[in-house]
Structure 1
């Protein structure tokens, strides 16, 4: 499978044809020789709602980061609990 790289200006113009001029995604994709999947991805990235999609992606990345941190901290807490119980038992 070949992955051709397109310039950013090309992508933005393709998105404009769909959003501003009202052409269908299938028409524009067929005319430009790109897949509809690629064109939908470009619309998501460069279209009128791009800021909203980026904000959602940023929020999801932050949630994943916080979940990883919570898991690590929970494991550390459990280890410290076991160590405290062990040393308490040893001191008796």
Structure 2
């Protein structure tokens, strides 16, 4: 059975049904066809992050996304530096 994925908007709407409505997490989960534990985890994450949960694929938080981008940029700069060092070596050899 393929694992279902849900976008940020769907998760937030499901969580808000639990928090703002008269229904319990169990009732909302049953209504939406979700496992109780899944919806309970979404509610917990939503409360802990003050509403900034479920960014990107649903798992990456803004600070983690920034770290990923910085690491990628760092790798690009390392590769660029290696190329420049090789070019410098070639040019200095040709001038002798």
TM-score, shorter chain, exceeding 0.5: yes
Q: Deviations over 1:50-89 (max 9, x none)?
A: 33864x7111000000001000000000000000001110
Aligned residue pair count: 83
Residue 32 of structure 2 corresponds to which residue in structure 1? Answer: 33
Q: Which runs of 4+ in 1 moved over 3 A?
A: 1-6, 8-11
Unaligned runs of 5+ in 2: 54-59
Unaligned runs of 5+ in 1: none
Residue 69 of structure 2 corresponds to which residue in structure 1? Answer: 65
TM-score scaled by structure 2?
A: 0.60
Greater C-alpha Rg: 1
Q: Which has the higher helix share?
A: 1
Q: Which structure exhibits the higher relative contact order, with contacts defined as CA atoms closer than 8 Å and separated by 6 or more residues?
A: 2
The reply to whether residue 49 of structure 1 matches residue 53 of structure 2 is: no
